Amino acid sequence: MIATEYINESIPTLQKDSLAAKAIDWMEEFRVSQLPVINLEESQYLGMVDERLLYNLSIPEEVPIKDILLDYKNLYVSPNTHLYSILSSFGEHQTDIIPVVDNQRKYLGTIASKDFLKEIEKIFSAQERGAIIIISLDAIQYSMTELSRLIESNNAKILSSFVERDKQYIGKLQITFKLDITDVSFIIATLERFGYHIKNRFDYSEGVNQEQERLDLLLKYLEI
């Protein structure tokens, strides 16, 4: 789950002599708002050009990229950057792409947010049939072994889980579980009986739209 596994080979790069009009065409074709700019001879990453600057040009067919201010010169990830750090970068910068660059600033490729989020869906079993529960607890109280035992004692399997600091309460953790069952009432009753606070729940409902709504809610709670 490192950066090189998520590179999208189809996203093109621009050079300093590329025209703004070409950048606009490619952005529309690949449905991105930024494109990486590299030094062609050494494949050095120079930054990214953003569509908001291109659309302000009166004659983009005559303006080379070298005459446009580049953004995100320090926005990139290294080849071995873990999935969670990539996710954090997308959340912080709100870009459509993130370049992958080695320690010599050599450009290796680009990760597209739309492709990356599809991988996140798979990792969190977002398209699997099942409910989601979110538990808030004191850090000292945390035991995945105990939580798994209580959940599985109700004939449920954990498809995926995610642990993070609870941003609403200092010293607490927030654990998100995706389960293989649709009704979590008995599980919630068990967890509450053992003193766990259920922060939220998302029960399964049929249909593609509901599946997407659950994914959106999960990503919201993960602040992606």
Least confident of 7-21, 97-111, 202-216: 202-216
Number of domains in the chain: 2
Mean pLDDT of 41-48: 89
For residue 127, pLDDT beyond 70: no
Residues 60 and 148 in one domain: no
Are 25 and 112 within one domain? yes
Q: How confident is the model at residue 83 (pLDDT cuts 50, 70, 90)?
A: confident
Here the CATH number for the domain that contains residue 209 is 3.30.70.260
Please answer whether residues 112 and 176 qualify as being in contact, where contact means their C-beta atoms are separated by less than 8 angstroms.
no
DSSP 127-168: TSS--EEEEEEEGGG--HHHHHHHHHTTT--EEEEEEEE-TT
Structure-block tokens of residue 197: 């606070």
Answer yes or no: is pLDDT of 205 > 90: no
Length of the chain in terms of residues written: 224
112 and 69 in a single domain? The answer is yes
Which of 88, 121, 154 is the last residue in one of the domains? 121
Confidence of residue 119 (pLDDT cuts 50, 70, 90): confident
Write down which residue in 78, 97, 121 finishes a domain.
121
Supply the mean pLDDT for the chain.
84
> Is 199 found in the same domain as 162?
yes
- Structural domain containing residue 198: 124-221
Is the same domain home to 34 and 90? yes
91-115: average pLDDT: 90
- DSSP class of 42: T
Q: Please name the residues in contact with 92: beta carbons below 8 A apart, sequence gap of 6 or more.
A: none
Answer whether residue 56 shows pLDDT above 50. Answer: yes
169 and 86 co-located in one domain = no
| Positive or negative: CA dihedral 204, 87, 3, 209 | positive
DSSP-assigned beta bridge partners for residue 149: none
d(CA 203, CA 197): 17
Residue that terminates a domain, selected from 121, 142, 174? 121
Higher pLDDT residue, 131 or 110? Answer: 110
Secondary structure (DSSP) of 157-209:
-EEEEEEEE-TTSTTEEEEEEEES-S--HHHHHHHHHTT-EEEEEE---SSHH
Instruction: Kindly report which listed range (30-44, 65-79, 170-184, 202-216) carries the lowest average pLDDT score.
Output: 202-216
pTM here? Answer: 0.62
Residue 172 and residue 134 in contact, taking contact as beta carbons nearer than 8 Å: no
Task: Kindly report the CATH number assigned to the domain that includes residue 114.
Answer: 3.10.580.10
